[in-house]
Amino acid sequence: MAQFLFNLFAAFTLVCALGVVVNKNAVNAAMCLLLALVGVAGLFVALNAYLLAFLLLLVYAGAVVALFLFIIMLLDTKGEQRPGLKHASLVARLFAAALVGAGLLSFFARSRLPEPALGPASAAVGAELKLYAYQLFTTYLLPVQVIGFLLLAAMLGVIVISKKLDAAEDAP
């Protein structure tokens, strides 16, 4: 049953992710992204990581994709006609596809994947809110702090780059 659910959600996620890439309409692509995230959340549930699945649905599927849709509608992008393939670009695509194909082929031909050399099973951090929060503020204290400063730097950058040139401000 677990294997069946994994296959189901994995296939669902892959198909939806493909839809994000090939869809010409930006709104449809965003909706496909939403479905792909739901599929990933399903995979998390299959791993007993209920909290992560919940957070993924709440933050990404709920907030981030909604923001994407807002921005797409604000910019009013139409499904634009794609430029025809140039000769060089076609050759490059074929080459890249052949490279990936060869890699996958050799991967399957020699597919004696070793059993993951996992250590003693650690508690699933994403299972329970209390454990998750405890880990976040003890073991992973430093990464959380670094993310804080990363967001601060990003915010500074957004403000500086997106602020309109103001003639009055530039005058000495």
User: What residue ranges bind another protein (CB under 8 A)?
Assistant: 103, 106-107, 110-114, 116-119, 122, 138-143, 146-147, 149-150, 152-154, 156-157, 159-161, 165, 169-170, 172
Q: Output the smallest distance, CB 115 to another protein, in A.
A: 10
Inter-helix orientation angle 141-162/129-137, to 10°: 80
Nearer to another protein, 85 or 150 (CB): 150
Question: Under a CB-based contact definition with an 8 Å cutoff, are residues 124 and 49 in contact?
Answer: yes
What CA–CA distance (Å, rounded) separates 172 from 132?
52
Nearer to another protein, 89 or 106 (CB): 106
Per the rule left: phi > 0, alpha: psi between -120 and 50, beta: everything else, 76 is: left
Q: Give the number of other Cβ atoms within 10 Å of residue 168's Cβ.
A: 5
Nearer to another protein, 70 or 134 (CB): 134
Nearer to another protein, 4 or 149 (CB): 149
Q: Output the smallest distance, CB 163 to another protein, in A.
A: 8
In residues, how long is the chain? 172
Q: Output the smallest distance, CB 171 to another protein, in A.
A: 10
